[in-house]
Amino acid sequence: MPIIETEVEKPAAQGAAMEITVSRQDLLKELTATQSVVERKTTIPILSNFLLEAEGENLAITATDLDQAIRTSAAVKVKKPGSCTIPARKLYDYIKLLPDGEISIKLLENHWVQIRSGRSNTKIVGMARANYPQIPEFPSIAVTSVAVPALRTLITRTIFAISNEESRYTLNGALLILKAESLAMVATDGHRLSFVEKPGEALDGISGEKRVLIPRKALQELQQLLSNTDAEKFEFADDEHTLFFRVGHRTLSSRKLSGQFPNFEAVMPRDNNKSAVVRSSELSSAIQRVAQFADERSGAIRLRLEANELRISANSTESGESEDTIDTPYSSDPIVVGFNSSYIIDFLKALNNEGEVRLEFKDSQSAGQMRPEDPDAEYKYRYVLMPMRI
């Protein structure tokens, strides 16, 4: 269900006289933060526009695609308060090309908007403010404060495992698990599962456990907002249909994913008793070399553990065959397991190819598990992979 309701028509006088002056640098910074939400190909023309609202000494900028919305603001000189909508892509591209300095934006008749900067004078055709959808307001109760670096890490280590199949609706996002003393995130596409937890993270306003499904699109926007802020914490809240994330002066709202996320605890391996520890960078390099010779459709490679070494190999009738060997302490029975090479690369990339990883197996038909080999790690990270027949 969309988070937006169509707004009742506002009096024509609203925004009829908007006129502001703003620094090009400040405006561009906020347009950059919001433009990725705007629908490029939409059957609803107003969704291709930014909503600009000027009041006091503040310009509020809003973008939405009906599933999610970003609202941000910039300090401006308001000569006449009001509001207007402007084609987002056109405004963003034009402001990027202007030199630094003051820009004046003025609403003219018939929703045209005049933009002046130095010797440049441009008029853009806008649309009626009354047609812009209503954006839900950030709730005033049940707000939780969360550390920015913690959620940023959780997203980085799970977002790649989210399913791309639209039919698997509840797998099109990641599950955020909030507890009074920890937060965790898990994502799966049915072939692999990525779980990361940050223990010892005190969360105010959380009693027991709170679980919310965050859509992939919202996670991508949130990743951008968290990467471009100096704030140490952000605020999270939700209501029946909507998730809200307030990062500094920017707020992202997104519809919730409905449905039941799978029971991920049930698929976590518990008796993988064959293990080896290898350097992430060494494993990544070896897999990338060998994967050049894997079957193009499946990307399957073989991992063979035997006396003190890990052999990585692949072959295909089209391209040939390749094998790499990594020394590692190992004395259990030999084992051969097939995996999708890109799935392992994704996991190692999320670790920045740093440190060592432990590979844990039971047999060639059971799920393998990978995790960073660091008992003092700030995050508990487990990556579960279903094997492939090769």
| Distance (Å, whole) CA 371 – CA 326 | 18
pLDDT digits 0-9 by tens, 132-141 = 999 999 998 8
Q: Which residue has the higher pLDDT, 348 or 208?
A: 348
In the structure, how many helices (H) and strands (E) does the chain have? 6, 25
Residue 101 within a domain:
yes
Return the pLDDT at 203: 86
For the beta sheet containing 173-179, the strands, ordered from the edge strand earlier in sequence to the opposite edge, are: 209-215, 173-179, 182-188, 192-199, 380-385, 368-372, 356-361, 274-279
Number of Cβ atoms within 10 Å of the Cβ of 316: 16
pLDDT higher than 70, residue 19: yes
pLDDT digits 0-9 by tens, 67-108 = 999 999 999 999 999 999 999 999 999 999 999 999 999 999
| Distance (Å, whole) CA 283 – CA 341 | 11
Residue 255's beta-bridge partner residues?
242
pLDDT digits 0-9 by tens, 259-288 = 888 899 998 999 999 999 999 999 999 999
Residues 323 and 255 in one domain: no
Q: 123, 113 in Cβ contact below 8 A?
A: yes
Q: Computed from CA positions of residues 212, 218, 223, 229, in that sequence, does the dihedral angle turn out positive or negative?
A: negative
- CA proximity to 262, closest of 164, 191, 207: 191
Residue 259 within a domain:
yes
Q: 3, 253 in Cβ contact below 8 A?
A: yes
How far lies 56's CA from each of 13, 34, 51, 173, in Å?
18, 22, 17, 39
Q: Computed from CA positions of residues 124, 127, 128, 132, in that sequence, does the dihedral angle turn out positive or negative?
A: negative
pLDDT higher than 70, residue 109: yes
| Distance (Å, whole) CA 314 – CA 308 | 20
In 154-264, which ranges are E strands?
173-179, 182-188, 192-199, 209-215, 233-238, 242-247, 250-255
Domain end residue (candidates: 219, 234, 264): 264
Residues 126 and 199 in one domain: no
How far lies 343's CA from each of 3, 79, 170, 275, 291, in Å?
33, 55, 20, 19, 11
Q: Which residues contact 364 (CB under 8 A, 6 or more apart)?
A: 335, 336, 337, 338, 387
Domain end residue (candidates: 131, 166, 194): 131
Residue 363's beta-bridge partner residues?
none
Residue 5 within a domain:
no
- CA proximity to 250, closest of 264, 235, 237, 271: 235
Residue 36 within a domain:
yes
Q: Computed from CA positions of residues 210, 234, 140, 15, in that sequence, does the dihedral angle turn out positive or negative?
A: negative
For the chain, the domain total comes to: 3
Residue 149 within a domain:
yes
pLDDT higher than 90, residue 188: yes
Which of 13-17, 178-182, 210-214 has the least mean pLDDT? Answer: 13-17
Residue 7 within a domain:
no
Return the pLDDT at 303: 97
Residues 326 and 219 in one domain: no
How far lies 293's CA from each of 16, 288, 311, in Å?
64, 10, 15
Residues 258 and 295 in one domain: no
pLDDT digits 0-9 by tens, 216-266 = 999 999 999 999 999 999 999 999 899 999 999 999 999 988 888 889 999
Arithmetic mean of pLDDT, 107-123 = 96
Q: Kind of pairing, strands 300-306 and 309-316? A: antiparallel
Arithmetic mean of pLDDT, 53-72 = 96
Residues 127 and 38 in one domain: yes
Residues 195 and 303 in one domain: no
Q: Return mean pLDDT, the chain.
A: 91
Residues 127 and 209 in one domain: no
Residues 316 and 275 in one domain: yes
Domain end residue (candidates: 220, 241, 264): 264
Residues 193 and 242 in one domain: yes
Return the pLDDT at 305: 96
State the pLDDT confidence band at 13, using cuts at 50, 70 and 90.
Answer: very low
Residue 200's region, left for phi above 0, alpha for psi from -120 to 50, else beta, is left
State the pLDDT confidence band at 16, using cuts at 50, 70 and 90.
Answer: low
Arithmetic mean of pLDDT, 344-353 = 96
Return the pLDDT at 14: 44
| Distance (Å, whole) CA 343 – CA 339 | 8
For 320, the domain range is 268-385
pLDDT higher than 90, residue 346: yes
Residue 14 within a domain:
no
pLDDT higher than 60, residue 10: no
pTM comes to 0.89
Residue 138 within a domain:
no
Which CATH number do you get for residue 57? 3.10.150.10
Residues 125 and 156 in one domain: no
Q: Which residue has the higher pLDDT, 12 or 170?
A: 170
Residues 93 and 105 in one domain: yes
Residues 110 and 25 in one domain: yes
